[in-house]
Amino acid sequence: MKKIVALAVMFLFSGTACSENYTAGFEYRSINQQPTASPERVEVIEFFWYGCPHCFYFEPTLNRWLAEKPENVEFIQIPAPLNKKWEIHTKAFYALELMGMQKKLHEKIFEAIHMKKMRLFDEKSLTDFIVQQGVDRDQFTKNMNSFAVNGKLNKARKMMKDYEVKGVPQLAINGKYITSGSMAGGNQQMIDVVNYLIAKESKK
């Protein structure tokens, strides 16, 4: 009987947390409306950098959410080029995307930097590592310096400015709101805020 009561209490508090209200300027902030890919779907963008430890530790929480996110949500990742050092990872992300290898190597790049302590912060080191994962060196190098990848880099730079992104990880919801771990109070709390804002936008 005590076990049943305990489970009921846990369920009650779980439901309360999901229905919690959040306030603009505290757990999230409003930005000037940005265009989204589809007006029929709620767009969620993650701004991240492979060299960011906070982004690395956010990955498991993000992946759990992705496995059960609402069907009307469109998720997009933007490898943030906040400075010259970060741009090499932005270009690598999009070069691998062109080759259909980005999803396969995404976690491996994170783990190499943060678990194996590999210094993958210049083109040679990063390219050598990616080639070790079975990627063709010439094709990857060609893509890294292609018109398509440079175009995506320029678009990502513009988005940093338009979305007023100053640090990572940050999540943008439907071109209207930004939240982060520091604003929300932690990684899971950031997801809770995202779910709240998705529900808010879905009602519209």
pLDDT recorded at residue 19: 52
Does the structural domain 24-202 have CATH classification 3.40.30.10?
A: yes
pTM: 0.89
pLDDT tens for 26-75 read 999 999 999 998 889 999 999 999 999 999 999 999 999 999 999 999 99
Query: Parallel, antiparallel, or unpaired: how do β-strands 73-79 and 170-173 relate?
Result: unpaired
Domain residue spans of the chain: 24-202
pLDDT recorded at residue 81: 97
Q: Read off φ and ψ for residue 78, nearest 5 degrees.
A: -120, 115
Element (H, E) at 12: helix 2-18
Other Cβ atoms closer than 10 A to 138: 8
pLDDT recorded at residue 195: 97
pLDDT tens for 86-121 read 999 999 999 999 999 999 999 999 999 999 999 999
- Residue 201, pLDDT above cutoff 70: yes
